[in-house]
Amino acid sequence: MAATDPGGGQPTALLRARQLAKAYGRVTALAGVDLDLAEGEVLGLLGHNGAGKSTLVKVLAGDVRPDSGELEIRGRQRDRYDPPTSLREGIVTVYQDGSLCPSLSVLENVELYTRNAPGLRKVTGRRLAERFETVLSSVFPGHGIDLRAGTGSLGPGQAQVVEVARAVLALRGHGSVLVLDEATAALGPERASDLFGWIRGQRGSGSLGVIVISHRLGEITGQTDRTAVLRNGETIFTGRSAELNRDQLVELMGGSARPSRGRRTGAAAAAGGKDDVVSVRGVRCGPATEGASLALRGGELAGLGGLVNQGQRELLDAIFLAGTRRRRGVEVHGTVAYVSGDRAARGVFPGWSVGDNMAATVASTLSRWGFLQRRRIQEFVADWMTRLDIRAADPGAGIGSLSGGNQQKVLIGRAIGSGASLLLLDDPTRGVDATTKAVIADLLLDFVAKGGSCLWYSSEPEELLVCDRVYVLLQGKVSATLEGAAITEQAVIGSSFAA
Amino acid sequence: MGEPDRPAHLLDEAAGGQAVGARPGRADGLRPRLPLRRLATAQPTPAALALAAILAIVAIVTPAARTYGGTTLLLASFIPLTLASIAQMFIIAIGDIDLGIGQFLGLINGIAVVLLPAHPALGILALIGGVAGYLVMGLVVHLRKAPAIVVTLGASFVWLGCALLLLPAPGGTAPGYLVRAMNLTPPIVPYPIIFFVVLGIVAVLLLRRWRGGKIIRGIGGSPSGVRRAGISVGWGVLAAYLLAGCFAVLAGLAISGVATSGDANIGTDYTLNTIAAVVLGGGQLAGGKVSGAGTVLGALVVGLIGAVLAFLHIDAAYDFAAEGLVLLIVVSLRLLGSRRAVLG
């Protein structure tokens, strides 16, 4: 069934969003998103990291209020809009990370959810169980789930099955919207195809609209009617899915084919060291059972790419832990230092001063008889603050007084200053201004030029162009290894998505 | 507005009877589990077994306890502990902990002994104020994101201070109706036993049948899951603290009826005992998983340990050690059991 243009009269527009904008402080999440969803239509939503997909979903679900822009549901403007209202309006969202309460049984989770759903308010107990079982079996035949079981005992695929089924149960009779935010990944291929089969079956009645966000380009091109591509918080393209191919989509998402600047000559890189500083073989960091494998030599700057939450952090954590204790599949030679981009939770010590944060790794080497040598620490801190160009700040000030970018510089300085030979970085440039990003890149280049090795995860493909080699992770395995001139934004983005 | 029709396509061939491809079972998907297995893995089971063991010891060692009068005497003193444990249970269910309940009991005791006999209206107002106090704690914990440990511990000093204002020294007499309420003598079955059964049923109904109970347990396990279902977490937190406050007030009144007089420090041992009772009964301090029946049984186990030691002529100083030991054993067994379930 072909999708017709919305606004052409028939069929009715379920959703109409114009110029939605949302900023969190200095970070712009949405810069002007337009969206149309017609009755009976399946719309695919695509975008790389930071494109604005998650924020858009939250706006539609009522979790987040846009700063400006219009949102119309079935032709009526919505102002006071919160999650219970969106559910009552028939907009049902399934997320990729668990929304179930582990302390409740499957049926109890369904009961909680359906209370706000139109028409299900009074349905409880045995009647609700019957209805839910009906929906479960019609969307996912042969599911084998015991409704009285505790949610904590469900396998990961089963939990997602429950979430999708309860969302389907909550759909209104007419004019509902089902939003699947990366919901198909956790379902597994069999169940995902069950779900799409059911969606195809709904087209006959023509009243359900579906929005699909997925990292599987095949799902987008094959299972949707139209596709919208987001980039930098804007809708930059909408078109019929049947007419789109993979390369077009990748290019639209921001992949330029410009090759890297060719950081170093082959000879210089080889002179860095012949032995592997770190070797990883088949380490599981996601759903893929074969795990990820990579290797790094001295003097190499390797990048990790891919969509967020594909196992990059788990891989970095595994390598870091292998530095201090034995771990199967990971061999690390030399000392390891970790720089986290999640500064508040995994990086800075919030109660300490800038100087104390900076010197945290070397304090013990700069001490005598267990007592800190204040003067030596001060010299160390002063030296690094100059190198990192944080001159303006007072080392005695609390670390919270520094901007995000400067805090990140402190964390990198602390890591390099510790004398480690391997640096692991988990998206350090998140939320950091452009100038500081350049400074950070220079720091890393300088580090590897002196013989150190670096494994750097960045959610922005553009930054990885300076690397010697880039491993793109997808669902916990390496989907592509790019070397030298082959490292382009387009290649990184392209291999971030499954076929 | 009437219920909109369920879309016909959702009730297609699968609705006829058996779902296509599903394992044979009831149409509502509630597969019956083997009764014995359900019993073995139920939350209250360890506490029930421990209680049975303790009662057996008591019955063997002390024939006097086997009579109607003996049982009543033995068990009546635990009524306040079971009520207070249920209060603690609601706080633990939401993922918090109440470190002030012992002192709160002293305050209610003071109100019962000083205010209720002479100024009943004022006394009742004060009791309502006590429940309101719990609501205020809930508001502070939720709105200011303050840790419950700190808030309830701080409140405990407020309760104690107010109690001492009412009762600078132990004394006074509890109202006659409270004492009589704790000493009923129904035929055949001793009053405490009836009370514990009713309390257990009420607790189970509140946790499992009442929608608010599900929300409370959901919040304890995953506040974001509850929020994603479109439910306000704040109301759930307040409901938990409100229930806890009500049961805590009832516990304070009960303790007044049992002790017949007042003492600001009457509840000092109660705080840790109620926590032990909830955990023994299958509750997890992380929140979400608590058992109504288990908590009542756990409270009885905790209370009876002291009695058992007395009957066995063991020094009362070993009370706390014995209680701790039982707690360690039960929790370890439960951890082993759940780990096997995860690995197996």
Q: How far apart are CA A157 and CA A179, in angstroms?
A: 18
pTM score, two decimals?
0.78
Q: How far apart are CA B306 and CA B143, in angstroms?
A: 40
What pLDDT score was predicted for residue B339?
62
Q: How far apart are CA B313 and CA B309, in angstroms?
A: 6
For domain A13-252, give its CATH number from 3.40.50.620, 3.40.50.300, 3.30.365.10, 3.20.20.70. 3.40.50.300
What pLDDT score was predicted for residue B222?
87
Residue A493, φ and ψ in degrees, nearest 5: -65, -40
Tell me if A13-252 shares its fold with A266-496: yes
CB contact under 8 A, A101 and B31: no
Tokens of A375: 């003067």
Distances (CA, A) of A226 to A15, A46, B196: 14, 11, 63
Q: With beta carbons less than 8 A apart as the criterion, state whether B83 and B76 touch.
A: no
Does residue B249 fall inside a structural domain? Answer: yes
> Which residues from A are below 8 Å from B231, CB to CB?
84, 112, 115-116
Distances (CA, A) of B114 to B101, B126, B175, B177: 20, 11, 9, 14
Residues of chain A with pLDDT under 70: 1-11, 156, 206, 255-274, 391-392
> Which residues from B are below 8 Å from A130, CB to CB?
27-29
pLDDT tens, A193-240?
899 999 988 887 768 899 999 888 888 888 999 999 998 889 999 999
> Of A61-75, B92-106, B162-176, which range is least confident?
A61-75
Q: Tell me the nearest-neighbour CA distance from A143 into chain B, angstroms.
A: 7
Does residue B12 fall inside a structural domain? Answer: no
What pLDDT score was predicted for residue A10?
59
> Which residues from A are below 8 Å from B210, CB to CB?
none
Does residue B10 fall inside a structural domain? Answer: no
Q: How far apart are CA B313 and CA B167, in angstroms?
A: 34
> Which residues from B are below 8 Å from A207, CB to CB?
7
Of A113, A134, A201, the CB nearest to B229: A113
What pLDDT score was predicted for residue B21?
33
> Which residues from B are below 8 Å from A204, CB to CB?
9
Does residue B134 fall inside a structural domain? Answer: yes
Query: What is the enclosing helix (H) or strand (E) of B59?
Result: helix B45-61
Confidence of residue B157 (pLDDT cuts 50, 70, 90): very high
A143–B contact, CB cutoff 8 A: yes
Q: Tell me the nearest-neighbour CA distance from A438 into chain B, angstroms.
A: 37
Q: Tell me the nearest-neighbour CA distance from B289 into chain A, angstroms.
A: 6
- Whole-angstrom distance between the N-terminal and C-terminal Cα of chain B? 50
> Which residues from B are below 8 Å from A129, CB to CB?
28-30
> Which residues from A are below 8 Å from B229, CB to CB?
99, 109, 112-113, 115-116
Q: How many CA atoms lie within 13 A of A75 on its CB side?
A: 9
CB contact under 8 A, A102 and B21: no
Q: With beta carbons less than 8 A apart as the criterion, state whether A254 and A231 touch.
A: yes
Q: Which of B12, B23, B28 to mutate to test the interface with A (most CBs of A within 10 A)?
A: B28
- Helices B319-343/B270-280 angle, 10° precision: 30
Burial class (CB in 10 A: 0-12, 13-18, 19+), A8: exposed
Q: What is the 3-state secondary structure of chain A?
A: CCCCCCCCCCCCEEEEEEEEEEEECCEEEEEEEEEEEECCCEEEEECCCCCCHHHHHHHHHCCCCCCEEEEEECCEECCCCCHHHHHHCCEEEECCCCCCCCCCEHHHHHHHHHCCCCCCCCCCHHHHHHHHHHHHHHHCCCCCCCCCCEHHHCCHHHHHHHHHHHHHHCCCCCCCEEEEECCCHHHHHHHHHHHHHHHHHHCCCCCCEEEEECCEHHHHHHHCCEEEEEECCEEEEEEEHHHCCHHHHHHHCCCCCCECCCCCCHHHHHHCCCCEEEEEEEECCCCCCCCEEEEEECCCEEEEECCCCCCHHHHHHHHHHHCCCCECCEEECCCEEEEECCHHHHCCCCCCEHHHHHHCCCCCCCEECCEECHHHHHHHHHHHHHHCCCCCCCCCCEHHHCCHHHHHHHHHHHHHHCCCCEEEEECCCCCCCHHHHHHHHHHHHHHHHCCCEEEEECCCHHHHHHCCEEEEEECCEEEEEEEHHHCEHHHHHHHHCEC
CB contact under 8 A, A101 and B222: yes
What pLDDT score was predicted for residue B15?
34
A205–B contact, CB cutoff 8 A: yes
Instruction: Inform me whether the pLDDT recorded for B24 exceeds 50.
Output: no
What's the longest Cα–Cα distance across chain B?
76
A274–B contact, CB cutoff 8 A: no
CB contact under 8 A, B215 and A112: yes
Of A100, A131, A168, the CB nearest to B225: A100
Question: Can you say whether the dihedral through the CA atoms of A14, A16, A21, A27 is positive or negative?
Answer: positive
Confidence of residue B252 (pLDDT cuts 50, 70, 90): very high
Sequence-separated (6 or more) residues with CB below 8 Å from residue A394: A354
Amino acid making up residue A377: I
Does residue B145 fall inside a structural domain? Answer: yes
Q: How far apart are CA B15 and CA B34, in angstroms?
A: 27
Q: With beta carbons less than 8 A apart as the criterion, state whether A273 and A297 touch.
A: yes
Other C-beta atoms lying within 10 Å of the C-beta of residue A315? 28
CATH at residue B188: 1.10.3470
Q: With beta carbons less than 8 A apart as the criterion, state whether B174 and B113 touch.
A: yes
Does residue B36 fall inside a structural domain? Answer: no
Our count of domains for chain B comes to: 1
Helix (H, G, I), strand (E, B) or coil at B171: strand
CB contact under 8 A, A126 and B28: yes
Q: Which of B1, B5, B10 to mutate to test the interface with A (most CBs of A within 10 A)?
A: B10
Does residue B240 fall inside a structural domain? Answer: yes
Mean pLDDT of B23-28: 44
Pairing relation of β-strands A453-457 and A68-73?
unpaired
Sequence-separated (6 or more) residues with CB below 8 Å from residue A193: none
* Sequence spans of domains, chain A: 13-252, 266-496
ipTM greater than cut 0.85: no
What pLDDT score was predicted for residue B69?
81
Confidence of residue B170 (pLDDT cuts 50, 70, 90): very high
Region for A64 from its dihedrals, namely left if φ exceeds 0, alpha if ψ lies in -120 to 50, beta otherwise: beta
For residue B2, the 8-state DSSP code is -
Mean pLDDT of B235-262: 95
CB contact under 8 A, B218 and A109: yes
> Which residues from A are below 8 Å from B21, CB to CB?
137, 141-142
- Helices B120-143/B233-259 angle, 10° precision: 140
Q: How far apart are CA A55 and CA A77, in angstroms?
A: 19
Provide the domain limits for residue B295. Answer: 43-343
Q: How far apart are CA A133 and CA A147, in angstroms?
A: 8
Confidence of residue B30 (pLDDT cuts 50, 70, 90): low
**Class of CATH domain A266-496:** alpha beta
Which residue, among B110, B109, B258, B253, has the nearest Cα to B182 in the 3D structure?
B258
pLDDT exceeding 90 applies to what percent of chain B?
52
Does residue B202 fall inside a structural domain? Answer: yes
- Whole-angstrom distance between the N-terminal and C-terminal Cα of chain A? 24
Confidence of residue B13 (pLDDT cuts 50, 70, 90): very low
Burial class (CB in 10 A: 0-12, 13-18, 19+), B187: exposed
Between chain A and chain B, how many beta carbons pairs sit less than 8 Å apart? 143
What pLDDT score was predicted for residue A2?
41
Which residue, among A194, A131, A130, A115, has the nearest Cα to A161 in the 3D structure?
A194
Confidence of residue B32 (pLDDT cuts 50, 70, 90): low
pLDDT tens, B304-339?
887 777 777 788 778 778 888 888 887 787 777 666
Sequence-separated (6 or more) residues with CB below 8 Å from residue B211: A111, A112, A115
Contacts 24+ apart (CB under 8 A), A247-254: A247/A494, A249/A46, A249/A217, A249/A220, A249/A221, A249/A497, A250/A490, A250/A493, A250/A494, A250/A497, A251/A490, A252/A46, A253/A46, A253/A47, A253/A48, A253/A51, A253/A229, A253/A493, A254/A48, A254/A51, A254/A461, A254/A489, A254/A493
Sequence-separated (6 or more) residues with CB below 8 Å from residue B89: B203, B278, B281, B283, B290, B292, B295
Measure the CA dihedral B76/B82/B84/B88, to 10°. 170
Which residue, among B321, B59, B20, has the nearest Cα to A141 in the 3D structure?
B20
Residue A386, φ and ψ in degrees, nearest 5: -70, -50
Strand partners, A234: A32, A231
Tokens of A306: 């891919």
Residue A485, φ and ψ in degrees, nearest 5: -70, -15
Measure the CA dihedral A343/A344/A350/A354, to 10°. 20
Q: How many CA atoms lie within 13 A of A36 on its CB side?
A: 16
- For chain B, state the CA radius of gyration: 22
